[in-house]
Amino acid sequence: MRCAIISDIHGNLEALQAVLADAGEIDEIWCLGDLVGYGPEPNACVEVLRSREARCVAGNHDWASIGKMDTADFNPEASEAAQWTGAQLTPEHRAFLEGLPVQLQAGGMGEFTLVHGSPRDPVWEYLTHVSAARLNFSYFQTPYCLVGHTHVPLMFQRPWPDDRAADYQTVVPEAGTPLALGQHRLIVNPGSVGQPRDGNPDAAYMIYQSGAAPQGRGGGSGGRGTLTLRRVTYPIASVQQKMRQAGLPSRLIMRLTYGW
Ligand code: ZN
């Protein structure tokens, strides 16, 4: 099984198309929320993901855009973009966003939990630091949990077999280098397709490649597959032009240039 793990598309159709083209032939798309908000083409992004039968969970911007979440805690630009997005969405796409679950299980053996923010608080908590990540490992049962929301590619690794706080690790994945899945439990963030915030403006996502079927009794530790971070260039200026035409806040337009 080969899957594209994408998150935080934020209505950026060019970035989404570039990522799907880069992924090539895949069996499934797993989407960790924030399909819309910020970017100029929310309907087209929802359309692409529906037509590809992506497995999606809800993000805070999806909920804010359809009025399912109050934007009082959003910054002014995010709130303005959510209002704008809500006015664009077709009734059909609103209903689709409304119906998204906050958590899903995926993978050939259901080994991945998918949420937007964190397993403890699926739509809102930001997992930026290992201390918060550590507390979250008891909130999901699968070996691996995939999260988005921070727009920064990152992995948190639980030590094995002991649970000593000092042994938890934060790993910044390197694009193009496959990470072998093994006995360690992980919380993994693939970064953002449509609005990267790690200083690299290229769209970010991950490829999951499942391992070969275990051979003989007991299987073996090498059969769990790999995760690979990928970065993809896309026509940023074209997206920015559409955002200007839509009258979206200039700070949101500028940040795409720098990936912050
Ligand atoms: Zn987001």
| Tens digits of residue pLDDT in 181-198 | 988 999 999 999 999 999
Percent of the chain whose predicted confidence (pLDDT) is above 90: 89
Interval between CA 109 and ligand 1 midpoint (Å): 28
How far is it between the farthest Cα atoms of the chain? 61
CA 258 to ligand 1 centroid distance, Å: 16
The fraction of the chain above a pLDDT of 70, given in percent, is 96
Q: What local confidence, expressed as pLDDT, does residue 219 receive?
A: 42
Task: Give the pLDDT band (50/70/90) at residue 213.
Answer: low
Q: Is the pLDDT of residue 248 over 70?
A: yes
CA of residue 108 to ligand 1 center, whole Å: 27
Query: How many angstroms does the Cα of residue 78 sit away from the middle of ligand 1?
Result: 10
How many A from CA of 94 to the centre of ligand 1? 18
CA of 153 to the centre of ligand 1 (A): 13
Distance between Cα 19 and ligand 1 center (Å): 17
Rounded to the nearest angstrom, the distance between the alpha carbon of 61 and the centre of ligand 1 is 7
pLDDT the model gives residue 29: 98
Give the pLDDT band of residue 215 (cuts 50, 70, 90).
low
Ligand 1 centroid to Cα of residue 149, in Å, is 5
Tens-place pLDDT, residues 93-143: 999 999 999 999 999 999 999 999 999 999 999 999 999 999 999 999 999
Tell me the CA–centroid distance for residue 116 and ligand 1, in Å: 8
Ligand 1 centroid–CA 163 distance in Å is 30
* Domains in the chain: ranges and CATH: 2-258 (3.60.21.10)
Average pLDDT, the chain: 94
Q: How far is the CA of 223 from the centre of ligand 1 (A)?
A: 32
Q: In this predicted structure, what is the pLDDT of residue 158?
A: 95
Q: Higher-confidence residue: 179 or 221?
A: 179
> Tens digit of pLDDT for each residue in 9-33?
999 999 999 999 999 999 999 999 9
- Label residue 161 by pLDDT band (50, 70, 90): confident
- Which residue from 151, 149, 146, 144 is spatially nearest to 117, judged by alpha carbons? 149
* 165 CA distance to ligand 1 middle (Å): 28
The pLDDT assigned to 225 comes to: 95
Cα 185 to averaged position of ligand 1 atoms, centre (Å)? 24
CA of 192 to the centre of ligand 1 (A): 7
